[in-house]
Structure 1
Amino acid sequence: MKTLLLILITLASVTVYAQPEQIVLLRHAEKMKGKDPELTPQGQLRAQRLAILLAPLNPDRLFSTDYNRTRQTLAPLSKATSVPVQLYDPRALADFATQLKTYSGTIVVAGHSNTTPELVKLLSGEAVSIREDEFHKVFIVSWQDGKAVLEEQDSNE
């Protein structure tokens, strides 16, 4: 009985302290104009390049806002990894950040020039920015000794 109790306590504590290996956050690729625009040809190429760059990370979850440009940015990665894209509400980023921290593995999140920096800040405590004409920045939040570590990469390289 004591052994069973010890196993249950150990499993419960693992669940409580579970957190992602890394969360990759990026802005959608280049978009056309208009309401809920799709990706431009350049944006479609960037989405393909992102799939090539991120597929080796073996993402466990993909998240996108419910807009054409963000869903289309993750579509090639979803196809390459057979991981479905789940939707999140960009108006509830604090709740979403809390939710993300409960998952394990690698997570990729596509957002916008205003929501991605806010989500990076909620997850890492560090401020970043994305200009309206920037589509190349990729932010990776990981944890070392329980502390968030932020790394910025360039999808153009």
Structure 2
Amino acid sequence: MRLLAFIVGLFLSQAVFATPDTLFLLRHAEKRDGINPNLSEAGKARAEHLVSMLKDKKIKHIFSTNYNRTLETVKPLSQKLGIVVTHYNPRQLTALVKQLKTLKGNTVIVGHSNTTPQLVKLLTDHDVTINEDQFDELFVIEGGALTLLSSNN
């Protein structure tokens, strides 16, 4: 009986401390001006390009803040893959990290020029920055290792 309890406990603890295979973190694509703006034409093109970059990456989860620019950035990918986008609160990144650590499978998280670097820091302890005019950085976290790719390719 103790052995069974140990095995169940071990299984549950691994589920709690599991991490997704690969995390893809990015800032929303280029936007128009205004409050809660939509994507510009360049942003729409980048969102479509993200589909070609990520469609074969075995994505299982997509997270986005609930703003037009972030949702429109992942909409083509979520439609292509048939994955419902999960909204997260950009003011509660620690809660998002806890949620991410319970997932299995590759995950895309789209945020903003301030929240994406904060997430990278929480997940890897690396400091990164995104300038206000940068929309092409794709941060890849796999096994705790951080890689920077460009969504211009």
TM-score, length basis structure 1: 0.91
Match of 1:98 in 2: 98
1:113 aligns with 2:113: yes
How far, CA to CA, are the matches of 1:4 and 1:43 in structure 2?
Answer: 53
**Are 2:135 and 1:139 aligned?**
no
* Corresponding position: 1:81 with 2:81: yes
1:152 aligns with 2:148: yes
Offset at residue 12 of structure 1 (A): 2.0
- Give the structure 2 partner of residue 127 of structure 1: 127
Matched residue type, 1:156: N
Which consecutive residues of structure 2, in runs of 5 or more, have no partner in the other structure?
none
Report what 2:8 is aligned to: 8
Number of residue equivalences: 153
Amino acid at match of 2:79: K
How far 1:16 sits from its partner (Å)? 3.1
Aligned residues: percent identity? 42
Secondary structure of the residue aligned to 2:56 is helix
Q: CA deviation at 1:11?
A: 2.5
SS of the residue corresponding to residue 116 of structure 1 reads helix
- Deviating 4+ runs (over 3 angstroms): 1-7
- Structure 1 residues not aligned, in runs of 5+: none
Alpha-carbon distance between aligned partners in 2 of 1:105 and 1:50, rounded to the nearest angstrom: 18
Contact kept in structure 1, 2:17 and 2:101, CA below 8 Å: no
Structural RMSD (CA): 1.4
**Post-superposition offset of 1:3:** 6.6
Shift of residue 17, structure 1, vs aligned partner: 3.3
Aligned counterpart, 1:31: 31
The alignment status of 1:42 with 2:42, answered yes or no, reads: yes
